[in-house]
Structure 1
Amino acid sequence: MFLNSGDILHDTAALTKLATKVKNKPEQDIYYTNLMLVDLEQGTVRLHQCPNKLTLAYFTGSFIGHPASIIKRSTFNILGGYSEDYHIISDWLLFVRAFLSGYSFHYINTTLSAFFLDGISSNGNAQHIEEIRSVYQKELSFIADDMSLLRKVNTRPYQFMEKFLSKVRKH
């Protein structure tokens, strides 16, 4: 589990509750939970609820929050950890790599932590978009030749995956 410097556990018993549930399913590679999203500027708090079953389509417009997940050390190491090439989306990339590689994910319907939306990864800035484009060129190169896909990335991050899914289904 990785927390950003400003993020916090949802409550004092969050890790204890999670540990109990993880012990019931020790064979899983990645455990993920819901995440509270806190926007101090707007004065809002909302729940980012993850699905019970992940699909590749889920990753097109959403994410598993790294502060709301636990990854087995061996899985993390085999996948190469968080890529230092990407400052904003390295956690998303790790989860996509794990999903595409067939690692097991287990949803635990609880809230582990609160993620504060004041950081660089929450602003949807040009660097964020550029990292997404770079991932598709370097990490997922089997779809990078589709220039229309890359043009969509410029204006609609994460929603380009519909086209990707249709290509995967053909193979």
Structure 2
Amino acid sequence: MRTYYIQSIVNKPETLIVFQGNTDRLVKCFVLNDNNDKFLQFSKLVGVAQRNLREKDLRMCDYLQGIVGIPIFSSRFMNEFSPILNNEVDFYPIEIQCNGIVEEFYLAKIKNYIDLIDYEKSGFRTLRDGSKILSHPRVINKSLDNFLIARDKENKSEWVVSEEFKNTADRTGLKMKFYETL
């Protein structure tokens, strides 16, 4: 199965979205899957665009890159994909602020955790203390079951989309880039 990473169509430095508030809580909820999303009932999610992301970029993009591994999708994306992703993703509205304007986007909480990475074929880097961490290239298992979007069970910050996801995004004209994983 072919798998892909997603990138924003804006290709310049300092265009990330910086989350306001407690990012540790967001990472625990959206990446580490601690199932504690009650805080979302009482707080508004807000992200601020870095200085090189312009208002026109924000209105054009259907995927934005955050400073942590949480996918950020546009309302257009939400309209197209929420019916087909309802078993794999929960969406939460986030207000993205950019040079005085506000646009609504959605954080995607990926619920699908599978063995994505082939650790035997992937590269590792040895730290000073002798421990090893995953480095590039990360090799994705090619014998995966069908899915649209998923996170790795072990290295939860890693997530990919399927060829079906990519083809649907391309067919509907959504503005995001895809590059194939190894």
More helix by share: 1
The TM-score, its normalising length taken from structure 1, stands at 0.27
- Larger strand fraction of residues: 2
